[in-house]
Homo-oligomer: A and B are copies of this chain.
Amino acid sequence: MSRRLLFNVTACQLGIYVKSSRCKGVLTVFGTMALDTTRTPFRTEERIVGGAATFGSLAASAFTKTAMVAAIGEDMPGDNILALQKKGVDTKGIVTVKGGRCFHYDSSFDYNLSSRTTLKTELNVIADFDPVIPEQYAKSEYVYLANNDPVQNIKILKLFDNPKLVVCDTIEYWIQTAPKKVIEMIGKTDGVVINDSEARFLCNEANLAKCAKKILSLGPKFTIIKKGEHGAVLFDKEGQVFPAAAFFLDEIMDPTGAGDSFAGGFLGHVARKGRSDFRTMKEAVIYGNVMGSFAVEDFGINRLLALTQNDVEGRYEKYRNLVQF
């Protein structure tokens, strides 16, 4: 590694912008930072912090330098931003819209916590957000477009300076309201991380292997189909497949954010390794599973906030032993 590169790494990691340098290993996450109302059969929490970018950034920050870009309203309690910062997430890209209210998602889970019903979706500040990224993060090597308006995602992508790897997620809401834009967005990424039900909806196809082929035909080099409590499957363009069972938990408190934490863990590991060959991506899928399994152990982001590096690596090793035969 050259001295110059070493210097650049340090500069980015310290948050210092160095012109024409690349932010090696840095991941920028763009998406929602929300106030969620989450109802399970056992407990309801109103207006707790959530959002795809929040979970994704927090999970990724356990692995690599992570910056978050999001629009919030004035109703977001400030201690949530401080909590993110404390975990090492760079929050300079979080914009508070004057007089605005946070994106609010109200949903309830069924008795076995496996299916969720949306009760209310209030876009609020994210509706007309014109995304900007702090200049220093334009040179991020890794970009995660967490679930968000595909038009905004396409727009923000233009602000990045040739990132090494771009990954997106999407949900039914956008597939339904802006299908062409979702497809255009996917075409501009290297990888798609998506729920099984949404993959089926997007591809109008029941078989997940066929869904993966359809998604890959739109441009990306790989796709990961998340199956909630059943784990995830990684597919690449060369026809390689990696099915991974989920880490097994005795108790699930709140499934919110599991998929976003999966994506954060996946990208975090890829970014810290600096490569995305199939073997590294397999490890990253397991780290994704690990982060998803932590996320659901408590309400909202509580468990992710309390995580240590030892917790993460410990569960990775536990998982390895668990599935070995």
Chain A contact residues, CB within 8 Å of chain B: 111-114, 200, 206-207, 209-210, 227, 230-231, 233, 241-252, 279, 282-283, 285-286, 320, 322-325
Contact A230 B230 (CB under 8 A): yes
Complex Cα distance, B324 from A209, in Å, reads 19
Complex Cα distance, B325 from A239, in Å, reads 17
Provided the pairs A230-B231, A286-B325, A323-B323 are in contact, do residues A200 and B112 lie with their beta carbons within 8 angstroms? Answer: yes
Report chain B residues within 8 Å CB of A249.
Answer: 209
Complex Cα distance, B200 from A114, in Å, reads 13
Contact A207 B325 (CB under 8 A): no
Contact A231 B252 (CB under 8 A): no
Complex Cα distance, B206 from A209, in Å, reads 28
**Nearest-CB residue, chain B, relative to A213:** B250
Provided the pairs A227-B230, A286-B325 are in contact, do residues A243 and B241 lie with their beta carbons within 8 angstroms? Answer: no
Contact A248 B252 (CB under 8 A): no
Provided the pairs A206-B113, A286-B325, A325-B286 are in contact, do residues A245 and B244 lie with their beta carbons within 8 angstroms? Answer: yes
Complex Cα distance, B251 from A112, in Å, reads 29
Option from B233, B283, B322 in Cβ contact (under 8 Å) with A248:
B233
Complex Cα distance, B283 from A246, in Å, reads 18
30 contacts between A and B (CB under 8 A): A111-B206, A112-B200, A112-B207, A113-B206, A114-B206, A207-B251, A207-B252, A209-B248, A209-B249, A210-B250, A227-B230, A230-B230, A230-B231, A230-B245, A231-B231, A233-B245, A241-B248, A241-B322, A242-B322, A242-B323, A243-B245, A243-B323, A244-B323, A245-B245, A279-B325, A282-B324, A285-B325, A286-B325, A320-B325, A323-B323
Number of copies: 2
Shortest A243–chain B CB gap in Å is 4
Complex Cα distance, B325 from A24, in Å, reads 25
**Nearest-CB residue, chain B, relative to A205:** B112
Report chain B residues within 8 Å CB of A283.
Answer: 325
9 more A-B residue pairs beyond the given contacts A209-B251, A233-B245, A320-B325, with a C-beta to C-beta distance below 8 A: A207-B250, A207-B252, A227-B230, A230-B230, A231-B245, A241-B248, A244-B325, A279-B325, A323-B323
Complex Cα distance, B323 from A285, in Å, reads 11
Report chain B residues within 8 Å CB of A322.
Answer: 241-243
Complex Cα distance, B247 from A325, in Å, reads 14
Complex Cα distance, B244 from A241, in Å, reads 15
Complex Cα distance, B207 from A110, in Å, reads 12
Provided the pairs A230-B230, A325-B283, A325-B286 are in contact, do residues A112 and B243 lie with their beta carbons within 8 angstroms? Answer: no
